[in-house]
Structure 1
Amino acid sequence: MALDVELAEIRDFLARHAPFDTLPPDVLAELPRRMTVEYYRRGRTIITRSKDNHSLFVLRSGAVDIHDDQGTLVDRGEAGDVFGSITLVLGNPSTFDVTAIEDCLVYVLPEAEFRALTAAHPDVAHFFDEQRAHRMRGAVAKLQDSGSTSAMLKTGVRDLIKRAPITTTQDASIAQAARTMKEHGASSLLVMDGEQLAGIVTDRDLRNRVLAVGVSPERPVREVMTAGPVVGDADALAFEVLLEMVGRNIHHLPILEHDLPIGVVTTTDLMRMVQASPVYVVGDIQKQSDVEGVATVSARLPAVVEALVGQDASADDIGRVVTAIGDAVERRLITLAEAELGGPPVPYTWVALGSRARLEQALAADQDNAIIISDEATDADLAWFEELARRVSAGLVECGYPTCPGDVMATNPRWRLRLQDWRQEFATWLTQPVPDAILQASIFFDMRPVHGDSGLFPELHHGILARAPQSRLFLAHLAKAATLNEPPLGFFRGFVLAKEGDHAATLDIKRGGIGAVVELARVHALALGSPAVHTATRIQAAIAGGIMSEEKGADLTDALEFISYVRLRHQAAQVREGRPVDNHVNPDQLSSFDKRHLREAFAIVRSAQSAMASRYPTTFM
C-alpha cells in the first residue's frame, strides 16, 4: 500500500509538469514504475561534462545549475524541470555539467524507457525537440556574442534616419531651394513630383552647378538637381548602403519605403559608426585604373574576412560583405573592359549566379556569371560580348576568382544569350525537365543583376516566377536533388568523413550542409513564386507561405548560420596560417561544443529534407 501511495504521488507530480502533463492517464499511471528515485546532496555533480549520460532526470525538489564547456552558467533548474535530454537526443558525451546547488530529490528515467516514451508520444518528443532547438539558437548566439561586433554590421538604415526628408517641388527656384536648406540646416533637399521622388539637390550641387558657372538663382531647381538619384531601401543594413555610396562616389542617399522617401543618410552619418570597415576596400577598388590594381586591392579580402570572424560578426553578415566586395571587383573589371572596347552595341545585363547572387559568398569561391543581351543584338554584335566576357573572366582569375569547373560563366556561349533565348532556356527547364539537366541548371535560379541595363533582368525574372509554381514535375526533380544531398551524418550521429584523396578524414561542410539548405530553400521559394534569392529570406517566404512552420524555419535558419560560421572560422584559420582556403573541415580540430552543435545542425537539415521528400514524392522518379 505504501508503495502504491508513493507511486501515486510521483504520478500526480508528473501530471503537473511538462511534458508529462500531455500523457494519457494510463500511461502516466504506469510511468512512475519505470523510474527510480535518487537523492543528491548539495554540491554533488549529477551529470558530468565529457562523460556519458544515459538517463532523463526530473527534479522533484531542490535546485541545480547547468554550466557549458566554457564554465558559463546557461540555466538553473527548479522543481518540475527536466535535464539530461540533450545527450539522449543528440548523443554522448555530455557538453554540460549539472550540479546540485541545494539538496535534491530526483526522479530518474532510464534511456531505454525515454526512447520508448518519445517514440509512442509525439507531444513528448516535440517537447524535447524544443529543448534541442533552444540549445541550437543558444549555440548560434554564443558564437556571435561579442562586444567587439561592428555596429555597422548590425544597424539598419532606418535607425540612422533622425528626421523626415526636407523636400521641395521641381518648379521651386534655386534660391528658394537654398533658403529651405538653410532654414533646416540640411545639406541636401529632395525634389518631388507629387509624392514621387524626382531628384536631389545638395550643397555641393549649389556650389558646382550654380555659383561656379553663374546660373541664375531664379531658374527652377529641376535644372540643377540630380534626376532619378540612386536610392536605398529602408530595410537595408548600414554597411550595405555605405558600400553602395562609396562604390558610386555619392554622399547623400535618399531612403525609400514602399517607393516613398522617408529620409536621407549621408556618408558622414555612416562613417561616424566605424573607424575601419570593408567599405574602404570597395572604395579602393573603384579607384583602380587597371586590372592589376583591382587584383592588388581584392587580395585584401581574406584579411577582411579574418577580421570579421575575429569580431564575431555573423556568417550572414560576412557573406554580404564578401559578396559586396566581389560585386565591386566584377563591376570595376566590366567598366575597365567597356572603356577599352567602346560602349556596348546594345543594352545588356551582367548577372551573378549562385552564392554571390544569394549574397552568401565565402572565400574559395569561383566564377559563376552570365550575360542577358537585348533582343536587338545582331550576330555581329555578339562578338563584342564574347570579348567582354573573355576580358572580365581573365581579370577575375587575376583577382583570385578561379574559373568555374562546370563552365557556368559568360565566356561559355550557352550562358551569353539574348533575352528571348534565355526565356526559351528557362521554359525548357520548367516544362520539359530532365534530371541531369535540372541539376546543372539549378544555379540559374539563383540570379542577380550586377551591371548594365536595369530592365532586362526583371523581364526574364518575372516570367520565371510566374511559371515556376505550376511546374510540378520540375519542382519534383529539384526536390529530389535537394533530398539526395545528404548531410555528412551517420546512422548513429557520427560524422561521415571523406575516405580518400587530398581531403581524407574531413567533412565537406559546404556540400551536405550549406548546399543542402540552399537547395531546400530554393525549391520552396520557387514553389511559391517568391522573388527571394537570399536563403534565409527564402526560408521566411516558406514560413509565410505555409510550407514550413515558424519553428522549423527558425531551426533551419539557425542551422545554416551555425554551419556557415564554422566554415568561415575554418577559412579564417587557413588565412592566418597561410594555407589554401577550402570547405573541408577536420572534426579533430573542432571543440566538443562545435561537434555537438554541428551534429545537431546536420540533423535539422536531414529532418527538413525528410519533410520535403514527403511534400514532393520522388520515389519513382
Structure 2
Amino acid sequence: MTLSPDAILQFLSAIHPYDSMEQDVLRPLVETIEIRQVAKAEQIYPLSTPLDGMFIVYEGEIEVRDENDSLISLLGPRNSFGERGLLRDGISLTSACATRPSTVLLLPAKQFHQALRNSPAFRRFFDRNRTQRIGKPDLATTRVEELMTRSPLTCSPETDVQTAARQMRDAHVSSICITRGDSFQGIATIRDMSGKVVGDGLPFDTPILNVMRSDPISLPPSAIGSDVLHTMMERRIGHIPVTQAGRLVGIVTQTDLTRFQAVSTADMVSDIAHADAAEDMAKVTARIPQLLAQLVASGSRHEVITRLITDVADAATRRLLTLAEAELGAPPVPYLWLACGSQGRQEQTGTSDQDNCLFIDDAMTEAHAPYFEALAKYVCDGLNICGYVYCPGDMMASNPRWRQPMRVWRDYFNGWINTPNPEAQMLASVMFDLRPIGGASHLFDDLQNETLRKASANSIFVAHMVSNSLKHTPPLGLLRGFATIRSGENKNHIDLKLNGVVPVVDLARIYALQAQLTQANTAARLEAAIAVGALSRSGGQDLRDAYDLIAETRLEHQAAQVRAGVAPDNFLRPSDLSDFERSQVRDAFVVIKSMQSALGHGRGMLG
C-alpha cells in the first residue's frame, strides 16, 4: 500500500494525542514515518531487542505478547505499540506479530523522543510516570526531616535538673533530650520540670534521669508533617523527638508547625481524641467523604490521601480502646489491638469496613476471657457506629477466633504455613497486612519476624501464596477495551478495587514475603522490594506507575461521586473516561497483567 504524507497526516489527526499537536509540529513528524507491510504470522519485533521506533496500526490486526508468551492485547487500526520499550531503555518489553496481513506506521525512535520533548500533548500521553504534583507545601506533603530542628538541645542522664533547666533557659527552648552516646534515652519538658521538680519538691541535684519521660513517642525523618500534628493532638503533647535506628536526629515542636496551616484531618483527630462516646466520633468520621473530595481537589497523591483517612480510623480505634478501659477497668494482662485489610495497610478510602484482631499476652487465663470479650465488643460496636461497618467475613476481634493469646496466634500462623489450603492462603494474605494500633506493640514484633522467616523459607507455602495472589486479574478485553461486569447493578462497569488495586496489593505482598519485608503499605512494599533487589528497578517502576494511576483514578471517581451527593464506591463506567484516560488506564492494567504473568512463571524476584 502506498500512503502519501497527506493521507498519513489525515489519519493521525483523528487519533489522540496527534489531534492535539500543532500542525507545524505534526507535519515534520509525519514526513519521517516509515510504512511497513506485514504478512500474516510475520513477527514485527521479538522480545528484548532494540526497537526501531513506535508502531501505529493503520490497517490489519497485531497481537502483542509478554515475556511469558501470554497474549496481552489484540490491536487494530489507530492503536500504538512499542512505546513502553522506547521509554524504558529502547528495548522491547513485548513481542509483536501480525495475525493477518497488516499495514503499520513506524515513527522512528529519534523522532519519538523529539516529540516527547517538543509536544506537551505527546509527552502527557506517552510518558506515564506518575510524579508528585507540585502545589503549595502543607503538612500532608511535607516530610518530618524538613520540619524538624536538626540539633536539639541534649544532656546526659546524669545531668542534674538545675543544670538542665539552665541549659533550656539559655537556649530559649521548652524541652531537652537525654542521650547516652548515640543512643536516645528520653525527653524532659518545662511541664516535667514544673510538675515533678517544683511541684514535688525534688532537690535541684536530682539527676534528669529521674524526671525525664523514658521511651517517649518518636517519629522517623521519613514521616509526614500530619503524623506529627495528629500525634500531638491525640496524645496532647507538644514535643516529638525524631529518631533513626535508635539515634536522635532532631525534634519537632508545636512552634515548628506554626508556619503551616493545619490540615483538616488534624481537627478531626483532635475531636476524636476528646470524644466521650462513639456517637460523638461518628459526627467526625461522617466528614471523611468530604475530606476525600477536598484532598483529591488539592492534588494530593493517593498514598497521602489514604494515609490521612486511615489516621482518622486509627485515632477512633485508640479512643474507643481508652473509653473501653475506662468502663471495664485496667486490662488484667497486656494486649495489642491490630488492624488488617486496608486499615492495616494505611490505604483506606471513602468506603471501608473494619478488619481487626486482638493479641493477648500468654499470661491470659480463662478468668480473663470475659474482659477481652467485652473490650472487643465495645470497640467493634463503636467502629460500626462510626461508619466502619462490621466485616462481612466476621474477621474482627469480637469473633473469639481472632481474639486469642499469643501461643494460639503462633499455632495459627504455623498451621497456615505448614498446611497451605485455600482457607489458609486467604487468612495468611489478610494477616500479613497486620499493623499494631493500640496496646503492647512488642507482642507483634517477635511474631512478625518469626512468621516472615518461616513463611519465606517454605517454598510450597510461597508457591500457594503466589497462586492465590493471581486470582484477581485486571479487567482487560482483547480488543483494546475493558472486560466490564456483565450483569447486576454494576453491569458495564469495572471494579477499580477488586480488579485494579487488589492485584497490585497482592503482588506487593508476595514481594514482601519473599524478601521478608516488614512493611504493610503497598507503595512502601514496592519501594522496599526495589531497594533490596527483590523487584527489578524497571519492572518495579512500571508497576508503581501503574498502581499510582489506578489508585488515583479510583479516588478521583469517589471524589466525583461525593461532589454529586452519591455514596462513594469502586465501580467505574469506562465511558465516563476520556479517550486519553481510557488509554492510560488500560495501559496500566497491561503492566499489572504482565507483572502477574512474570510472577506466575517464577520470575517474581526479577519483576
Query: Do Structure 1 and Structure 2 share a fold, with TM-score over 0.5?
Result: yes
The aligned counterpart of 1:99 is 23
- Corresponding residue for 1:263? 250
| Further displaced range: 587-596 or 338-347 | 587-596
1:175 aligns with 162
**Contact 2:139/2:263 (CA < 8 Å) preserved in 1?**
no
- 1:309 correspondence with 2:309: no
Q: Does 2:483 match 1:496?
A: yes
Secondary structure of the structure 2 residue equivalent to 1:411: coil
Provide the residue aligned with 2:325 in structure 1: 338
CA 302–540 in structure 1, closer or farther in 2 if over 3 Å, else same: same
1:350/1:452 contact within 8 Å kept: yes
TM-score normalised to structure 1 length: 0.81
Equivalent of residue 406 in structure 2, options 419, 426, 429:
419
Within 5 Å, give how 1:306-455 maps onto structure 2: 306-455=293-442
Q: Distance in 2 between matches of 1:439 and 1:239?
A: 33
1:107–1:298 CA distance, 2 compared to 1 (3 A): closer
**Which of these residues, 245, 261, 280, is aligned with residue 274 of structure 1?**
261
Amino acid at match of 2:244: E
Aligned position for 1:223 = 210
Q: In structure 1, which of residues 142, 145, 151 is the aligned counterpart of residue 133 of structure 2?
A: 145
Per the TM alignment, residue 262 of structure 1 is displaced from its structure 2 partner at its CA by 1.0
Closer, same or farther: CA 101–52 of 1 in aligned 2, 3 Å: closer
In 2, Cα distance between the equivalents of 1:36 and 1:426? 65
Secondary structure of residue in 1 paired with 2:474? coil
Matched, 1:562 2:549: yes
- Which secondary structure does the structure 2 equivalent of 1:376 belong to? coil
Shift of 1:161: 2.8
What is the aligned counterpart of 1:108 among 25, 28, 34?
34
Which residue of 2 is the match for residue 89 of structure 1? none
* Alignment partner, residue 84 of structure 2: 129
- The change in CA–CA distance for 1:275 and 1:198 in structure 2 (over 3 A counts) is closer
C-alpha contact 2:307 2:348 (8 A) present in aligned 1: yes
Q: Residue 477 of structure 1 aligns with which residue?
A: 464
Aligned partner of 2:239 among 245, 249, 252: 252
* 1:459 Cα deviation from its structure 2 partner: 2.0
Report the identity percentage.
35
1:63-106 CA distances to partner (integer Å, 9 max, x unpaired)? xxxxx5xxxxxxxxxxxxxxxxxxxxxxxxx6753633497332
Q: 1:183 to 1:562 in 2, by over 3 A?
A: same
Offset at residue 39 of structure 1 (A): 7.3
One-letter amino acid matched to 2:527? Q
Deviation at 1:542, TM superposition (A): 2.6
C-alpha deviation, 1:254, in angstroms: 0.8
CA distance in 1, matches of 2:424, 2:52: 40
SS in structure 2 at match of 1:391: helix
Q: Residues 485 and 187 from structure 1, CA distance in 2 versus in 1: closer, same or farther, beyond 3 angstroms? A: same
C-alpha contact (below 8 Å) 1:389/1:411 kept by paired residues: yes
Report the counterpart of residue 447 of structure 2 in structure 1.
460
Contact persistence 2:418–2:461 (CA under 8 A):
yes
Task: State the Cα distance separating 1:603 from its structure 2 match.
Answer: 0.6
Range that drifts further, 451-460 or 127-136: 127-136
Question: Structure 2 CA distance, aligned partners of 1:319 and 1:231?
Answer: 22
Which deviates the most, 96-105 or 386-395?
Answer: 96-105
Deviations 1:541-570 (A, max 9, x none): 332343321011011111111111111111
Q: Check 1:451–1:326 CA distance in 2 against 1; reply closer, same or farther (3 A cut).
A: same
SS at match of 1:100: helix
**1:356 Cα deviation (Å)?**
1.2
Distance 1:527 1:120, change over 3 A: closer
CA distance in structure 1 between the partners assigned to 2:52 and 2:426 by the alignment: 36
Q: Distance in 2 between matches of 1:348 and 1:140?
A: 43
Whole-angstrom distance in 1 between the partners of 2:539 and 2:387: 37
Distance 1:99 1:168 in 2: 69
Helix, strand or coil: the match of 2:193?
helix
Are the equivalent residues in 2 in contact too, given 1:46–1:98 (CA < 8 A)? no
Q: What residue number does 1:47 align with?
A: 12
What secondary structure sits across from 1:360 in the alignment?
coil
Q: 1:46 to 1:616 in 2, by over 3 A?
A: closer
Letter in 2 for 1:109: I
Q: Quick one: distance in 2 between partners of 1:215 and 1:450?
A: 36
- Give 1:495-574 correspondences, 5 Å limit: 495-574=482-561
How far has the Cα of 1:176 moved from its partner?
A: 0.7
Partners of 1:111 and 1:164 lie apart in 2 by: 68
Instruction: Kindly report which structure 2 residues correspond to 1:11-50, keeping only aligned pairs within 5 A, or say none.
Output: 38=5, 47-48=12-13
**Over the residues paired in the alignment, what is the CA RMSD in angstroms?**
2.7
CA contact (8 A) 2:217 2:240 kept: yes
Distance 2:235 2:460 in 1: 44
Which secondary structure does the structure 1 equivalent of 2:462 belong to? helix
Q: Which residue of 2 aligns with 1:65?
A: none
Look up the match of 1:283: 270
For 1:123, the aligned partner's letter is: P
Q: Distance in 2 between matches of 1:359 and 1:186?
A: 34
| Alpha-carbon distance change, 531 to 125 in structure 1, aligned in 2, over 3 angstroms | farther
Unaligned regions of 5+ residues in structure 1, if any?
A: 1-33, 54-67, 69-93
For 1:601 and 1:129, the matched residues in 2 are separated by 11
Secondary structure (helix, strand or coil) at the match of 1:124 reads coil
Counterpart contact for 1:119–1:125, Cα < 8 Å: no
